[in-house]
Amino acid sequence: MPAFLEVQNLVKSFGATTVVKNVGFAFDKGEFISLLGPSGCGKTTILRMIAGFEAPTSGTIWVEGQDITHLKPNQRKLGMVFQAYALFPNLNVGDNIGFGLKVAGMPADERRARVDEMLKLIGLSGYEKRFPYEMSGGQQQRVALARAIAPRPRLLLLDEPLSALDAKIRVSLREEIRAIQRDLGITTVFVTHDQEEALSISDRVVVMNAGNIEQLGTPHEVYNRPKTRFVATFVGQLNTVPATLVDPAAPRDQLRAIRPEMLSLSPRPGTDTTLSGTIEDVHFLGSVVRLRIDVGGTALSVDTFNDQASAPPQRGDTATLHFASKDLLALAD
């Protein structure tokens, strides 16, 4: 069965600068995919090429077996939500949601029914007469989402739609977006620089760096089995540990890494290695207490669960760290 969305050998250059370098991936219908990476890595440029707002320098883009590489944006049957809400300030909520339907020539009664359906879907029934300036940022972004999906697009593109919102609303809205996406079964590409967002709502994650794909996999794979040093350090917290690979023929230095939650202050099943050090700092993060421990001049972060019955360790305390050697990651460049 062919992929629903497929990108082949995609390249984008602006003058002498190449910002997307021979990128390729394929996804199935109904998947929620995140393009994750730092600013300038090429993720938004890829999204804009899929949408038709940028023309590839080379390569092809396929949706449902159709080559859309050179189609105009309005010929692609895609929906897009931008970082800025991009609502029409002179139109009320109902007219904003129904704008694309009106342009497509949908009769007024069908359009009203579809708008009502969208308002119910995003939890804003009764808000159709309000104007964007009368709504919060989170509400405006819900309206932008409803406007994008009202015409029943075959692919939904989200360009950092949550970055302008405060942290609590961002978490709530990303969960709503995921629930709506699952309910509709619409294939979705979500661009973000926020690793927590990507890991929490995606079926698969594309980790990008400097125009290249560093790794493509499920959130579990990307976090627990990073393939490169960049992925390991960009996705989640990480301790790096200098180590020597003992080989009688040719001993050599390597860099190993371990996640803070894989270290513990007491033995656990499977732990076979210990390190001793001194607690340098204690950060209370609510459900987690993060310790920074000096081990022979190397600072290691250790995450422990908050225990209401006992106080956390204190600065200056001696600590013994326990971990399983199998949890050490060997980092490749």
- Domain ranges for the chain, please list them: 5-233, 241-330
Q: What is the DSSP secondary structure assignment for residue 3, as one 8-state letter?
A: -
The answer, yes or no, to whether residue 333 has pLDDT greater than 60, is: no
Domain 241-330 grouped into CATH 4.10.410.60: no
Please list, in sequence order, all residues whose beta carbon lies within 8 angstroms of the beta carbon of residue 82, skipping any fewer than 6 positions away.
144, 159, 161
Contact 6, 58 (CB under 8 A): no
Of 317, 306, 303, 309, nearest to 263 (Cα)?
A: 303
Average pLDDT, the chain: 91
> By CB neighbour count within 10 A (0-12 exposed, 13-18 middle, 19+ buried), where does 246 fall?
exposed
* Res 55: pLDDT: 96
pLDDT of residue 165: 84
Distance from chain centroid for Cα 34: 5
In this predicted model, what pLDDT tens digit does every residue of 200-245 receive, in sequence order? Answer: 999 999 999 999 999 999 999 999 999 888 999 899 888 887 766 6
Per-residue pLDDT, averaged over 107-112, amounts to: 94
The two tokens of residue 62 are: 């396929």
Residue 176 contacts residue 162 (beta carbons within 8 Å) = no
pLDDT of 267 higher than 60: yes
Phi, psi angles (nearest 5°) of residue 184: -85, -20
Q: State yes or no: pLDDT of 253 exceeds 70.
A: no
Percent pLDDT > 90 in the chain is 74
The strand pairing partners of 12, in sequence order, are 20
- Which amino acid appears at position 84 of this protein? A
Between residues 249 and 216, the one the model is more confident about: 216
Q: What span, in angstroms and rounded, lies between the C-alpha atoms of 218 and 10?
A: 22
**What tokens does 161 get?**
């739609």
CA distances from 157 to 48, 51, 90, 191 (A): 9, 8, 25, 8
List of residues 6+ apart from 311 with CB closer than 8 A: none
Domain covering 5-233: architecture: 3-Layer(aba) Sandwich (3.40)
**pTM of the predicted protein model:** 0.87
Per-residue pLDDT, 308: 83
How far is Cα 148 from Cα 98, in angstroms, rounded to an integer?
A: 10
Residue 51 pLDDT greater than 70, yes or no: yes
**Which residue in 214, 211, 194 sits closest to 202, CA to CA?**
194
